[in-house]
Amino acid sequence: MSDLTNKRIVLGVSGSIAAYKSPEIVRRLQDLGAEVRVIVTNGGREFVSERSLQTISKNKVHDNLWDKEAELAMGHIELAKWADVIIIAPASANTIAKLCHGRADDLLTTVILATEAKIMIAPAMNQQMFAASAMKDNLELLQKRGMDIIKPGFGEQACGDVGEGRLADPLDIAKQAADLFTSSLLSGKNILITLGGTKESIDPVRFISNHSSGKMGMALAHACIQAGAKTTLIVGSISVDIEKRAEIIHVVSAEDMYKAVMKKINSQDLFISCAAVADFKPKKMSKNKIKKNDSPMTIELIENKDILATVSQLEKKPICIGFAAETENHIENARIKLKKKKCDAIILNDVSKSEIGLNSNDNEVHFITKNKSEIIEKNTKQIIAEKIINKLANYFFKSS
């Protein structure tokens, strides 16, 4: 199933009559979950209104390389870095020729030069222009440089000609963008992921919990599904949207999470323990709401079962991946956990920094196995998750 959840797409709209279809392309990309920002060229502006693109994309439309305001907030470099994919649709003959020459005389061509994102080109022009040998050579050159060409359709054109050169269908453009993110790396594999925080009740209204949002775990779920795995989520307390394509089991406490994991673990190939499971719970939950009195309050805590350590010691165990949330002696502590919990790899994240780790949109992690430690540098949790899943697939499932 096509999906662009959490993907950032820049849509470049250049001067072709087909530019009137660009708001629909924005819609179709959003339907698949993408956030879209639009760059329109001078030519594109002749065929589609900035207001429509702005309203539908819910973002300011970018059109000027020299826009002082844009340069302060999100200039060409920021846009180039922001995008996971840049789609030029429609791509006019002129814009395609400029890309071939590496021109940078407007915002769109400059962003293209400045980006590391995947670039997709959806040509749209008169059939005779599309058939011209200069156009064929230009598209071949762009393809050689790693850009994807979205084949135009065949049929009657705005000018009355019939032939190849109509802009591809907006839904097909969105689906082809989504295909960039799907693989069969983990197809046929069953993956169980725990995520979110657990809540340990003190009394009927109070509990002990933590700041886990579920963002990291949900990003992993998304990456597993994109890699073709059948994915089951044991979900504690979270503040993110649920990945609808996964099987979902909601739990509250660490004890619930333990039971849910044990029920599902037999059929799994991979277990990723991303949840922030409470190490301790109150020894007794008070049946009634605890009243204030003048003496200090003490809650006696006892240890919860360690879910990851239990799974790692099962006779028929899946590949077990832990997370280590550390605030000091990071690598050393993570290695101790790797050994103690007997997992196959541990993903270390620093939870003392507000811009990564708990509840943030970004993370930076170390992927640690018995013999290796590799950093996955700061990025969105989605990109970090995709990199983790690629590593796991290569380390543990390559030959199977």
Is residue 100 flagged as an active site residue?
Answer: no
> Interface residues with ligand PMT (CB under 6 A)?
212-217, 254, 273-277, 279, 304, 306-308, 322-325, 337, 341, 349, 351, 357-359
CB of 217 to ligand PMT, least distance (A): 6
* Structure token digits, residue 371: 């013999």
End-to-end CA distance of the chain: 24
Let me know: does 142 contact 96? Beta carbons within 8 Å. yes
* Structure token digits, residue 56: 């539908």
Nearer to ligand PMT, 161 or 279 (CB): 279
Annotated catalytic residue within 100, 159, 224, 343: 159
CB of 218 to ligand PMT, least distance (A): 8
CB of 51 to ligand PMT, least distance (A): 37
Nearer to ligand PMT, 94 or 373 (CB): 373
Let me know: does 7 contact 33? Beta carbons within 8 Å. yes
Let me know: does 198 contact 253? Beta carbons within 8 Å. yes
Q: Cα–chain-centroid distance for residue 160?
A: 42
DSSP 344-385: SEEEEEETT-TTSSTT-SEEEEEEE-SS-EEEEEEEEHHHHH
Nearer to ligand PMT, 147 or 392 (CB): 392
Nearer to ligand PMT, 99 or 324 (CB): 324
Nearer to ligand PMT, 122 or 351 (CB): 351
Beta strands in 75-152 (DSSP E): 85-91, 118-123, 148-149
* Structure token digits, residue 142: 């762009």
CB of 302 to ligand PMT, least distance (A): 12
Q: Are strands 230-235 and 247-250 parallel, antiparallel or unpaired?
A: parallel
Indicate if the alpha-carbon torsion angle 275, 280, 284, 288 is positive or negative.
negative
CB of 288 to ligand PMT, least distance (A): 27
| CA proximity to 392, closest of 310, 289, 323 | 323
Nearer to ligand PMT, 91 or 192 (CB): 192
CB of 330 to ligand PMT, least distance (A): 11
Let me know: does 208 contact 304? Beta carbons within 8 Å. no
Query: In whole angstroms, what is the distance from residue 381 CA to residue 390 CA?
Result: 14
Cα distances from 137 to residues 99, 104, 143, 310, 339, in angstroms, run 12, 20, 10, 60, 57
Nearer to ligand PMT, 51 or 370 (CB): 370
CB of 309 to ligand PMT, least distance (A): 7
CB neighbour list of residue 289: distance below 8 Å, 6 or more residues apart: 203, 204, 205, 206
Active centre residues (catalytic): 159
